[in-house]
Amino acid sequence: MRAVITFHHLGDEGGPLAFPPRSFDAMLRAFADARLPVVDLDTLLAPGTHRGVALVFDDGWRSLLTAALPALQASGARAHLFLCTGVVMGDVAAGARMPGFPPMDWTDVERLHRLGVAVESHTHSHPDLRGLDDASIVAECERADALIERRLGRRPRYFAYPAGWHDARVRRVVGPRYSAAFTTRLAMLRDRDDRHALP
């Protein structure tokens, strides 16, 4: 069994994008009890890996730092952040997608990076890439990647499509930039999956 488990915000507000912190802690304990390793994406996607889960967080909400990180550190689990750089830069259009969930700032992102959370790409302004021309798709990705590289000293290796939106043209434009790209399709990972349309 191999899977990527995606979160947005850890909190008790309810709704589809908030996950209770107590449930997150219980999930990590259940993985440990089952001896199911929580690994980074490099390990999960490496040839020969047949068992494990990767934990990823979308957008850049501060609960990753305040609620998830202590539990991750206590369990020794790895995680990735698919960062929408417009969220941390106060872009109202991006930030307004999850009202009431406080965003991180660059200081928070830099701290996560130092503590071992790998920061990956989720565009700058979280658009539906299917509605953009090829040059605009590249510009969205490049702006986010360049900002992350400038702040953290590493270029993102992985990508998550905003809201999972993608089609063959988007995959063709985005694919060469990253080792793999992730959708919102609910499924276990399989060896035959398209590396740029992973569940």
Residue 129 pLDDT: 96
Task: With a cut of 90, say whether residue 96 has pLDDT above it.
Answer: no
Judged on CB neighbours under 10 Å (0-12, 13-18, 19+), 185 is exposed
* Token pair for 153: 């000293």
CA distance 194 to 189: 10
CA distance 89 to 177: 23
Contacts of 11 (CB under 8 A, 6+ apart): 18, 19, 20, 21, 63, 67, 101
Look at residue 99 and tell me whether its pLDDT is greater than 70: no
**How confident is the prediction for the chain on average, in pLDDT?**
94
Return the DSSP state at 11.
S
| Nearest Cα residue to 57 out of 151, 182, 179 | 182
Sheet holding 2-7, edge to edge: 2-7, 52-59, 80-83, 118-121, 158-160, 180-182
Structure confidence by residue, pLDDT tens digits, 29-83: 999 999 999 999 999 999 999 999 999 999 999 999 999 999 999 999 999 999 9
Specify the pLDDT at position 95: 43
Please give the Cα distance from 199 to 184 (Å, whole number): 6
Looking up tokens 């990590």 gives: 28
As a three-state string, the secondary structure of 41-74 is HHHHCCCCCCCEEEEEEEECECHHHHHHHHHHHH
Q: How many residues does the chain have?
A: 199
DSSP 119: E
| pTM beyond cutoff 0.75 | yes
